[in-house]
Amino acid sequence: MPVEHVVDRLDVDLIKNRSSRLAGRDLRLFDEVASTNGILRELARAGAREGTTVLAEAQTMGRGRLGKTWFSPPGVNLYASVLFRPALAPSAVPLFSFIGSLAVVDAIEREGVDAAIKWPNDVLVDRKKVAGILIESATSGGTVRYVILGVGVNLNVGREALRSALGDEAHAAGSLSEVARHEIDRNAFAATFLDALEKWATVYAEGGADAVLAAWRDHDITGGRRVEVRDADERYEGRALGVDREGALVVKDPRGRRRRVLTGEIRLLD
């Protein structure tokens, strides 16, 4: 008799059971949403408490950095948004995306696979991007009201699906299962990721930017490399010197000037 291939569905109880830190956490799972960040923003505005987490099997309008879309097919990957209400100055918000990539790296390494980070927070496996972080925040009167940390991780999406959705850009994208050579248990991965995120949030709260950046630099593949920068309307090449305490990439341009890149995009040239 043929054995049916059962795809694991996300399950809040399974995620909590596999976690050491999520008891009592408000985890909300949806079949399909436009964007988990969008749902969580509504909840945050309505007063949701820190730690509230939105997960979805699929997103119809998953959002990426710089106005891009995030390919979010159903049933195969992780799309999650987590709410923080940190006592931080607005200038300290960008570093939240750094704790997101560190938590993704921890969860990937738990699968026995090495991961690297390309500035700002693209997580790469075998030089292909498998995960990205999108931070959205609200501030008022110089204080941060909330930070939403959204993460998308390609776990089991197949090469064909990437090719048909991303076209020419598919060569730069990957899926963890391709490299791990086994299907990734999404509930276990989600639990490990959320536990690790809580750990790194504590590191940030207690150790500050320096503690986060020290760990981030251990995985960074950008520092010291020649890069092409696309920032607002500008495009230039230079040498990446590293990140500063606010998470900006410092690049030495061809005229020897040091330039800070905070919201742009880079391409590695060597």
Q: Name every residue whose Cβ is closer than 8 Å to that of residue 213 and which is 6 or more positions away in sequence.
A: 95, 98, 243, 245, 247
Tell me: does residue 247 bind ligand BTN (CB under 6 A).
Answer: no
Tell me: does residue 151 bind ligand BTN (CB under 6 A).
Answer: yes
Q: What binding mask, one character per residue, do residues 114-143 give for ligand BTN by CB under 6 A, x or -? A: --------x---------xxx---------
Q: Residue 214 burial by CB count (10 A; 0-12/13-18/19+): exposed, middle or buried?
A: exposed
CA 213/CA 245 separation, integer angstroms: 8
CA 101/CA 90 separation, integer angstroms: 20
Tell me: does residue 37 bind ligand BTN (CB under 6 A).
Answer: yes
Minimum CB separation from ligand BTN for residue 28, in Å? 13
- Of 16, 18, 41, 63, the residue at the interface with ligand BTN (CB under 6 A) is 63
- Of 49, 68, 217, 226, the residue at the interface with ligand BTN (CB under 6 A) is 68
Q: Which is nearer to ligand BTN, 18 or 63 (CB)?
A: 63
Tell me: does residue 70 bind ligand BTN (CB under 6 A).
Answer: yes
Tell me: does residue 55 bind ligand BTN (CB under 6 A).
Answer: no
Pairing label, strands 128-140, 122-125? antiparallel
Tell me: does residue 150 bind ligand BTN (CB under 6 A).
Answer: yes
Minimum CB separation from ligand BTN for residue 76, in Å? 13
Tell me: does residue 64 bind ligand BTN (CB under 6 A).
Answer: yes
Q: Which is nearer to ligand BTN, 62 or 174 (CB)?
A: 62
- Cα end-to-end distance, the chain, whole Å: 53
- Return the HEC string of 17-84: HCCCCCCCCCEEEEEEECCHHHHHHHHHHCCCCCCCEEEEEEECCCECHHHCECCCCCCCCEEEEEEE
| Residue whose C-beta lies closest to ligand BTN | 132
Minimum CB separation from ligand BTN for residue 4, in Å? 29
Q: Residue 58 burial by CB count (10 A; 0-12/13-18/19+): exposed, middle or buried?
A: middle
CA 239/CA 168 separation, integer angstroms: 26
Minimum CB separation from ligand BTN for residue 44, in Å? 13
Q: Which is nearer to ligand BTN, 65 or 163 (CB)?
A: 65
Binding site for ligand BTN (CB under 6 A): 35-37, 59, 62-65, 68, 70, 79-81, 122, 132-134, 150-152
